[in-house]
Amino acid sequence: MKKAQIAVIMTCHNRRTITLSCLQALYKQDVSFDIYLTDDGSSDGTDEAIKANYPDVKILKGNGSLFWVGGMRLAFAEALQRDYEYYLWLNDDTTLESDTLERLLNIHQYLCANSHADSIIVGSTKDPKTGKPTYGGAVKSKRWYSNKFEFLEPSNHLQECDTMYGNCVLIPLSVVTKVGNIDAAFIHSLGDLDYGLRAQKLGCSMWLAPGYVGTCSQNSVRGSWVDKNLSVLERLKKVTHIKNFPVRAWTIFTYRHSGSFWFLYWFLPYIRAMIGYKNLSSSPTFCEEVKSVG
């Protein structure tokens, strides 16, 4: 197979060991790529460790306030100055299988041959300890009263999805040309979901790759805005935090993607925070919790 030009887009903050582990797995791929990584103000020696172990990584510097969207936008913008054939979003806490990039590229070539060139390929991850699915593709609930995005469990064949969580996502240049960068309206969460939904509106499609592409631990419910052990006030503070549903970003997201009754859906995470839910599937923008591995 012809080696493709891929720009890997990453961001990190104070997770030196985790970030290095991600890079170690990435460099086992039998595909050529360049890495654009934003180090968002790490104070644990991440920058120095990357330079020492992986000197080819192009490191961009943040001040610690970029969060996921800001860090990814910065690295993405730098990579966009060159016309790569593909751009791979990769979370620094995701450990890829050694053949992941080759598999994703083969899938896109298959889709091109079947008139789906403008397609985003989404990779699913599983928890390294439990084996349960954690992140990947998402589909909008078919329930008429719900605006929730539900986790699409991977199978042994390609599946079309509505949007995605940005842990491992391959985006061809043709899609990037239409959609552009991640929207700066978002800070930490929602930016990946918004990107997928905007791509869909522009005529692009999203496909979930068969099986798993690697491992990534899921965020813990404990101490989160859905933790019933916290007080209502504590949950409300957490739900409006930058990493969850900050009011401005959530307003933009629901107005853009939730139809005529967006203002009704807007209230849901805040109501759920007050009531208290036990798992992340309570959120309309989080994956449904999968009870077992298929």
Three-state DSSP state, 38: strand
Per 3-state DSSP, the chain is made up of helix, strand and coil in percentages (nearest 5) of: 35, 20, 45
Across the beta sheet with 133-135, the strand order is 95-96, 214-215, 125-126, 133-135
Whole-angstrom distance, CA of residue 167 vs CA of residue 53: 23
Whole-angstrom distance, CA of residue 152 vs CA of residue 138: 5
Type and span of the H or E element at 105: helix 100-113
**Mean pLDDT of the chain, nearest integer:** 90
Give Cβ neighbours of residue 181 (< 8 Å, ≥ 6 apart). 73, 76, 77, 80
| pLDDT > 60? residue 181 | yes
Closest CA to 257 of 170, 174, 188, 199: 199
What tokens does 56 get?
């080819």
Look at residue 144 in the predicted model and tell me its pLDDT: 60
Whole-angstrom distance, CA of residue 159 vs CA of residue 200: 15
Give Cβ neighbours of residue 149 (< 8 Å, ≥ 6 apart). 138, 139, 140, 141, 162, 163, 193, 284, 285, 286, 287
Asked whether the whole model's pTM tops 0.75, one would answer yes
Locate the domains of the chain by residue range: 6-215, 232-278
The 10s digit of each residue's pLDDT in 206-251 is: 999 999 999 999 877 777 787 888 888 999 999 999 988 999 999 9
Please report how the helices 46-53 and 16-26 are oriented relative to each other, as an axis angle in degrees rounded to 10: 30
Mean pLDDT of the 79-93 span: 97
**What is the bridge-based pairing of β-strands 58-62 and 33-40?**
parallel
Closest CA to 193 of 204, 184, 203, 182: 182
Mean pLDDT of the 250-267 span: 90
The 10s digit of each residue's pLDDT in 139-165 is: 987 766 556 788 899 999 999 999 999
Look at residue 1 in the predicted model and tell me its pLDDT: 46
The top-level CATH class assigned to 6-215 is alpha beta
Closest CA to 91 of 179, 191, 216, 175: 216
| pLDDT > 90? residue 104 | yes
